[in-house]
Amino acid sequence: MGSAYAAQMKAALISSGVDPGRIVDLAHDLTPHDIDEAAFLLREMARAFPSNSVHVAVVDPGVGGQRQPLAITTRAGPILVGPDNGVLMPLARELGLERAYRIDASKLGRPTRVGNTFDGRDLFAPAAATLANGRRAASLGAPTTAKAYAIPEPTSSPTGIRGKVIHRDRFGNLVTNIPTGGLARGVLRVELTLGRARRRPAPFVTSYESLGRGALGLLGSSFGLLEVAVGEGRASDLLRAGVGNPVVLAWRRRSATRSEKANTARPRKQR
């Protein structure tokens, strides 16, 4: 079963002349009102689309309030449409933010707004259709300054790292904002604290299969970020955790062996 709200946005796009075959759904099952998750997934999924794309993002807890409706042009070509709450900014920066414009509904050439609760259908979809049909973003409103925003970064120390869950997928895997590059190097034991769970051991693994059914572990996700997973199970249910929960890893690094110390202390002779 699809999303009723997404279907209404598609209807607005199609009725404005957009070919249905050119509409791509990125996601409709995100955590309500969570800007961090939406901004992260928009950046990760939309970066590979062609330069003539128009991206519409509607995670909009401030709908009907004072936040601006935006159309953002980028040096790479794609145009981004959505609320000025930060959701567009990580993707805009990656594509080379060029200029932001405040969308003026009166310049869309049709009555759009019905109430104050669904700008996705009433404003953003018609604006996106107008842009997809060849209008320039500058024709939709005056230049403006978009709200500054960045996806939260983890903090680290010699004995651990602290981050947060940035995405929970439909399998119950918990993707964190902790990069995986080099994280497991030299680590002997890792203890994980997440959600309501007490500190518990969590091994690094290279695949879901290597976890074993029902076992908790850590692995690199397809986003290049640390993922908390359960073999053939749901980490979110086991740990009672979801998007926004803090993640703390505490570790003890492996000590060098006697032979490794000797090799380090005595460089090989050159022949």
Query: Where is pLDDT greater, at 199 or 72?
Result: 72
Q: Give the domain-ending residue among 94, 112, 144.
A: 144
Pair (113, 18) in one structural domain: yes
Pair (72, 181) in one structural domain: no
Pair (99, 31) in one structural domain: yes
Residue 149 lies in a domain: no
pLDDT for residue 224: 94
Residue 266 lies in a domain: no
- pLDDT higher than 70, residue 253: no
pLDDT for residue 130: 96
Token pair 């999924």: residue: 45
Strand-pair category, 54-56 with 79-83? parallel
Render pLDDT for 114-138 as a digit per residue (tens, 0 to 9): 778 999 999 999 999 999 999 999 9
Residue 263 lies in a domain: no
- As a whole number of angstroms, the distance between CA 154 and CA 132 comes to 37
The per-residue DSSP string of 182-230 comes to TTTTTEEEEEEEETTPPPEE--B-SSSGGG-BT-EEEEE-TTSEEEEEE
How is the chain split among helix, strand and coil, in percent rounded to 5?
25, 25, 45
- pLDDT higher than 50, residue 50: yes
- Place 186 in a pLDDT band, splitting at 50, 70 and 90: low
Q: Give the domain-ending residue among 101, 117, 144.
A: 144
- Place 1 in a pLDDT band, splitting at 50, 70 and 90: very low
Pair (124, 200) in one structural domain: no
- 19-38: average pLDDT: 94
Domain that holds residue 32: 4-144
Domain containing 235 — which CATH number? 2.40.30.90
Render pLDDT for 57-89 as a digit per residue (tens, 0 to 9): 999 999 999 999 999 999 999 999 999 999 999
Pair (92, 209) in one structural domain: no
Pair (129, 30) in one structural domain: yes
Pair (197, 248) in one structural domain: yes
Q: Give the domain-ending residue among 144, 175, 199.
A: 144
- Place 157 in a pLDDT band, splitting at 50, 70 and 90: confident
Average pLDDT over all residues of the chain = 89
- 136-149: average pLDDT: 97
Pair (110, 170) in one structural domain: no
- As a whole number of angstroms, the distance between CA 38 and CA 89 comes to 11
For residue 90, how far is the Cα from the chain centroid?
9
Residue 183 lies in a domain: yes
- 98-114: average pLDDT: 86
Pair (139, 184) in one structural domain: no
Pair (173, 78) in one structural domain: no
Residue 270 lies in a domain: no
Residue 42 lies in a domain: yes
Residue 258 lies in a domain: no
Residue 16 lies in a domain: yes
> How many domains does the chain fold into?
2
- 196-200: average pLDDT: 76
Domain containing 89 — which CATH number? 3.40.50.10790
Pair (130, 179) in one structural domain: no
Q: Is residue 81 within 8 Å of residue 90, measured between CB atoms? A: no
Pair (136, 245) in one structural domain: no
